[in-house]
Amino acid sequence: MASPGTPRRQPLPATLLVWALPDSVVALLREAVGRDSQLVVVRNGGTATDSMRRAGSLCLVVPVLRDRFDPFWTEYTVVRERFPNVPVVAVATPGVSSMQAVVRLSQLGISDLIDGNEGLRPDEVRAALAKVYNDTTMQRIWAALEATCEESGARCPDDLATMLRRALRYAHEPLPASKLAALMQMHERTLRKYCESRGLPSPQIIAGWARLLVAALYLDDPGRSIASIADLLAYPTPGALRKQILRYTTHSPRQLRTQGAMTVVLHELKQSLQMPATPEAADTAARPRLVLLRSEDVA
C-alpha cells in the first residue's frame, strides 16, 4: 500500500504487448512498468494476435517505422482491424521514425504517441501508458453499462450518468461524498438534497458503484488477485473490498469471477437503481431506494 501523502500511481494493464521495438526501448519499458505489468515481446502479427486473444487486460506498444514497405505495416493493419478496441501506444525513435509515418499510423488507429526523439524517461513513459489504459478502461465500462441498459429498454438518467462518469474518473482512490460534490461543483449538502429530490441514491452510494465497476473490470482479468485489485483501488485491506462487493451485490469476489464480474455488477446496478425506460416522465417519489450504507462501510 502507498504510504499517506505519497502520490498514487495510476494502474497499468495486466499485459504490455511490445511489438518490433528496439531492445533499448524494450529495456526502458521494463524499467517503466516494473512488476506492475507483464511485458511480452512479439515479433510479428501472428504472435501479436495469439497474445491478444489470450490476454484480458492489455496495451499494445508499436514502433513508428519510416520504411513504408516494412512488413509491419501490413500486419499491423490486419491486427488493428481484428482488435479495434485494444489501446495502442506508438513510440517514435530517432533515425527510424518520420512525420509521414506518424500520420499513417494515426490513420490506422493509435491511442497516443510517445516521442522519443528527445530522449525517454521511465516515469513519463509509465504515465503515458497509464493514461491511455485508464481512458480506455472508462470507455469500456461506460459502453458496457449502456449496452446493459439498452438490452432491457432502460436508460441511465442524465443526472445519474453525469455523476457516474465523473466518479469513474477518480475511482482508483477513496471517493467520499464531499469529493464527488466537488467534482459536480456543488456543496455536499446541495448534492445530497439534489439526489433526494430526483429519487437517486446518495452521492456516497453512487461513488461506491463507480469504484465497484472498476473492481469488476479488474476481477475479469485472470492475472489479478483480489489483494492487487484492492491495492490498485486504494482500499485499506482486501477484506474491505470483499465487504463492499458483498454488500452491493450479495456475491463474493470468487462468485463474481465465476459468473463474469462485470456482467453481474452491471445487472445488480441496474436492478438497484431501477432505471426507467423514460426517466424524465417517471414518478421519482415511487422509485425504489437503495438502503443507505453507513459511511464507514463504503470505500
How many Å apart are CA 232 and CA 222, to the nearest integer?
15
263 vs 76: CA distance, rounded Å: 31
**What local confidence, expressed as pLDDT, does residue 99 receive?**
86
User: Which three cell numbers, joined as nine digits, stand for 227?
Assistant: 489483494
Output the pLDDT for position 294.
37
In the chain, the amino acid numbered 145 is L
- Give kind and range of the element (H or E) at residue 72: helix 71-82
Given a contact cutoff of 8 angstroms between Cβ atoms, the answer to whether 207 and 244 are in contact is no
Q: Give the mean pLDDT per block of 10 residues along the chain (299 residues).
A: 50 89 93 92 91 79 90 91 86 85 87 84 91 85 86 81 90 92 94 92 94 91 83 92 95 94 91 58 39 37
Residue 150: its pLDDT value, please?
82
Instruction: Compute the 3-state secondary structure of the chain and give helix, strand, coil in percent, each to the nearest 5.
Output: 55, 10, 35
Give me the CATH code for the 152-297 domain, please. Answer: 1.10.10.60
Q: Where are the domains of the chain?
A: 15-134, 152-297
What does the pLDDT read at residue 275?
A: 55
**Residues 6 or more apart whose Cβ sits within 8 Å of residue 26:** 18, 39, 41
pTM of the model: 0.67
Q: Give the pLDDT score at 218.
A: 86
Q: Which of 197, 205, 156, 200 is nearest to 180 (CA)?
A: 205
How far is the C-alpha of 250 from the C-alpha of 263, rounded, in Å? 14
Answer whether CATH 3.40.50.970 is correct for domain 15-134. Answer: no
Buried-exposed string 176-215: b where 16+ CB fall within 10 A, e elsewhere: ebebbbebbeeebeebbebbeeebbbbbbbbbbbbbbbbb
Whole-angstrom distance, CA of residue 299 vs CA of residue 284: 27
115-153 per-position pLDDT tens digit: 887 788 999 999 999 888 888 888 888 888 888 888 877
